[in-house]
Amino acid sequence: MEQRTNLRFCGMPVRASELEMIEGTVRDCFGLSRTELAFTLCELLDWRRPNGQLKAHECRQFLEELEEKGLLKLPGNRGTGRKSKVVPKATGECRTPTPPVVEGTLADLGPVQLQLVNTPDDRRLWREWVSRYHYLGCTVPFGAHLRYFVTTSEPVPRKVGCVQMSSPAWRMAPRDKWIGWDEEQRVRGLQRIVQNSRFLLLPWVKIPHLASATLSRLARQIADDWETLYAVRPVLLETLVDPAKFKGTCYRAANWLPLGITTGRGRMDREHKRHGAEPKEVLVYPLRRKAREILLKG
């Protein structure tokens, strides 16, 4: 009974009437795929982002959590499953030839820019580079996200790195303690935090201070881009740094604030199954003055 009464979708309690509708829809529309069921339920329950888009990705994961708890039976999985699809590290021949080495100073190469990844060719190239050169590979992010190429302009335009911004971690003790919010405030304010979940400067690029310059550009641009796409203006950036591999020097140089070390559970481990597995350092960057006060108000 407790499993049925303490359910939450994106932090909001799921009422008994909503659960009954979910169970009835899954039962009556069992011929649909899991993704089709998720879209159908989002329309019926009006589960939408602030910009009006359906929360179908999150809904599918919620349905699969209900199945794991034994609360319903879903049709066979025709897709990639509930876990994020991970593009493994590339090992064969690169589809895109390696560009020549890029060397020089920021002053010589022009201002650092962030170019949104929009076209199919750009998306393919972004995934190829991140899967090949980032130590975590390329993962389909949970929920909302934006991807960028880092570019320079002189003497010719060049792509020199990749950045991914995505929905924040559901819970992180150092961040939540720093903000000082309670459960209700966290649920209301979480959508105003954005996580820097991938940051890659390509290995053939040798430009001093490029990383911190990129982070500074990101801090000036992300709020407008995120609000344009998702109708929510973020006030805080967060990131996770693996202290066993990196010192986070570029974040500190760009004035990000170190808050402490996570428990290592992972962003979606709500049942405490992975405690201490991969502890990471949490760093944040306020995009607004009094960001904490804004987050507490929701």
DSSP the chain: -HHHHS-EETTEEPPHHHHHHHHHHHHHTTTS-HHHHHHHHHHHHT-B-TTS-B-HHHHHHHHHHHHHTTS--PPP--SS-SSPPEEPPP-S--SSPPPPPEES-HHHH---EEEE--SHHHHHHHHHHHHHHSTT-EEPPSSSEEEEEEEE-SSS-EEEEEEEEEPPPS--HHHHHHHT--HHHHHHHGGGEEEEEEEEE-TTEE-TTHHHHHHHHHHHHHHHHHHHHHS----EEEEEE-TTT---HHHHHTTPEEEEE--S--TT-TT--STTSS--EEEEEESSTTHHHHHHH-
**What local confidence, expressed as pLDDT, does residue 272 receive?**
47
What stretch(es) of the chain map to CATH 3.40.630.30? 99-297
**What local confidence, expressed as pLDDT, does residue 80 receive?**
45
Higher-confidence residue of 146 and 91: namely: 146
Answer yes or no: is pLDDT of 78 > 80: no
- The fold of 99-297 is Aminopeptidase (3.40.630)
Task: Summarize pLDDT for 80-110 with one digit per residue, the tens.
Answer: 444 444 555 554 445 667 778 899 899 999 8
- Average pLDDT, integer, range 25-38: 86
**What local confidence, expressed as pLDDT, does residue 227 receive?**
94
Q: Please tell me the pTM assigned to this model.
A: 0.73
